[in-house]
Amino acid sequence: MRAIIFILLVAYCNSVYSSSLEAVSDDELTNLIRGEKYVIVLFTKKDCDACDNLENELIGLREELVDSLNAWVVKAVNSPLVRLYDPSKEPALVFFRHGVPLLYDGPANEDEILRTLGENKEPVVKELYDDNFEHLTQVATGATTGDWFVMFYSNDCVECQRLQARWEAVGARLKTRLNVARVDKQNRGGATARRFNVRQTPTFILFRLGNMYRYNLPKYDVSSLASFAVDWYKNARTERVPVPKSPFDDFVQMIADFLMDNPLVWQGGLAGFSMLILVLALSKFLKKPTKKKSSSAKKSK
């Protein structure tokens, strides 16, 4: 791996003064993302005018990005990895900070690119868990820490994985107005998900002034999500934020959710119980009572 990084470093230094970005393979890009602090990647393809325009903007910024961020600035041509970060595919500009992707969602403009990347050198989205959700958000008491826009996700949700770069972009766009976070529904955020009746992932909920608003639109692009948090939430149904459940209530809810998510379990149990009742009833019905001889009959003999 060190040899690959060294070769890339030499090629990268030579490319700083070239007229195009250094192209890397998927394996090389994966190693860069894992091993380097800042990596700026342009996902591009051939015969794409928009891709060429964005690359030209990056070429003009490359030296400044290297000097200010000590970042790698490369491109990946016709890479299937783009699907992990932008469903609209090429061109897509992604900024990796310690491996956490941020999808650039602005115009192909040098000043705007430099401002967005420079202001988001660290991940924006906060990770919340059962043991810190209420303490950090205080949503049940009127959200004294500000409004919170939360995505509930799970590791087995493919769409959730593809949303990470876009969700970071939402956080970058809204960070001066509200807090953007996410909760793992399957693991350390299970009780929080049950508290807000989150059954599917991804689920987006805006918490504002003691109320909550669910994002029910089918579009998961950055503009739609950010607009909902700013203004569209007024068109959603208002729900009061429930207080945290007691351990017993949460346990009951967990069992209820399990049975609803696995209907064959309770249906099979109900069928088995019904069969047992039927067998007992039939056995009682078919059992013949034994007749006792009367004492008078014995005497007549």
State the virtual CA torsion across 36, 124, 242, 136 in degrees, nearest 10.
Answer: 90
Q: Which residues contact 15 (CB under 8 A, 6 or more apart)?
A: 21, 22
pLDDT number for residue 88:
87
Q: Which two tokens stand for residue 181?
A: 């976070």
DSSP string, 215-257: E--S---HHHHHHHHHTGGGGSPPEEPPPPPPHHHHHHHHHHH
CA distance 167 to 103: 8
Q: Which residues contact 109 (CB under 8 A, 6 or more apart)?
A: 57
pLDDT number for residue 10:
47
Which amino acid makes up residue 160? C
pLDDT number for residue 244:
82
Backbone angles phi, psi at 75, to 5 degrees: -135, 150
Q: How many residues does the chain have?
A: 301
- Superfamily of domain 126-244 in CATH is Glutaredoxin (3.40.30.10)
CA distance 118 to 182: 23
pLDDT number for residue 39:
97
Q: Contact at 8 Å (CB) between 143 and 152?
A: no
Which amino acid makes up residue 36? E
Q: How many CB atoms lie within 10 A of CB 49?
A: 8
Containing H/E element for 38?
Answer: strand 38-44
Containing H/E element for 79?
Answer: none
Write out the E strands in the chain.
Answer: 22-23, 38-44, 72-77, 92-97, 100-103, 126-128, 148-153, 179-184, 203-208, 211-215, 239-240
Along the 301 residues of the chain, how does pLDDT read in single tens digits?
Answer: 655 554 555 454 444 445 789 999 999 999 999 999 999 999 999 999 999 999 999 999 999 999 988 999 999 999 999 999 998 889 999 999 999 999 999 999 999 999 999 999 999 999 999 999 999 999 988 657 899 999 999 999 999 999 999 999 999 999 999 999 999 999 999 999 999 999 999 999 999 999 999 999 999 999 999 999 999 999 999 999 998 876 656 556 566 655 666 666 545 555 566 666 766 666 666 665 555 545 544 444 4
Q: Is 121 exposed, middle or buried (0-12, 13-18, 19+ CB in 10 A)?
A: middle
Backbone angles phi, psi at 204, to 5 degrees: -120, 130
Containing H/E element for 123?
Answer: none
β-pairing verdict for 38-44 and 22-23: unpaired
Per CATH, the number for 2-119 is 3.40.30.10
